[in-house]
Amino acid sequence: MADVDEGARPECAAGVLFLDEAGDVLLVEPTYKAMWEIPGGRMEVGESPREALARELEEELSLTVPVGRLLVVDWAPHVREERVRFVFDGGVLTDEQLDAIELPPHELESWAFISPEELFVMMEPRLSRRVTAALGAREAGGTWYLENGVPVGVPLTTPHAT
């Protein structure tokens, strides 16, 4: 086993699943990497996942919207660090909310609604698995635990189970 820093904590972040009327997912295009993401970001010291998400939505999209229930928690090991990711339900955005979106030009290039079938083309595989699972949890009315984007302990009767 590799040496482990006993004081190390996983890096945590929160994201949101926003949909349009057709069921497509809102993605944002960062200026600093090639692949698209869902809105959200890292938690700062002392922030809860919901607080971090509210701050990130204001900073990234200029949106102040209520955040719904937790859809998934993902244990997402990474090359350099362990990560825990939370994805909340943002519901369906109204035309007024969409018109109010303002992107920080130094951080985000654009935004678009993407069909669930296209997520694997637009996003990194681990994130597309997480978002697909969040869609399944939303449809099933549950909250799912994931490991690297794969549901663990999800009953086989749920829409996402494989």
Along the 162 residues of the chain, how does pLDDT read in single tens digits?
345 455 557 789 999 999 999 999 999 999 999 999 999 999 999 999 999 999 999 999 999 999 999 999 999 887 677 889 999 999 999 999 999 999 999 999 999 999 999 999 999 999 999 999 999 999 999 999 999 999 998 754 444 444
Residue 155: the pLDDT is 58
Please state which of the four CATH numbers 3.90.79.10, 3.30.420.40, 2.130.10.10, 3.40.50.300 is assigned to the domain occupying 11-151: 3.90.79.10
Which of these, 19, 161, 159, lies nearest to 89 by C-alpha position?
19
Is pTM, for the whole model, over 0.95?
no
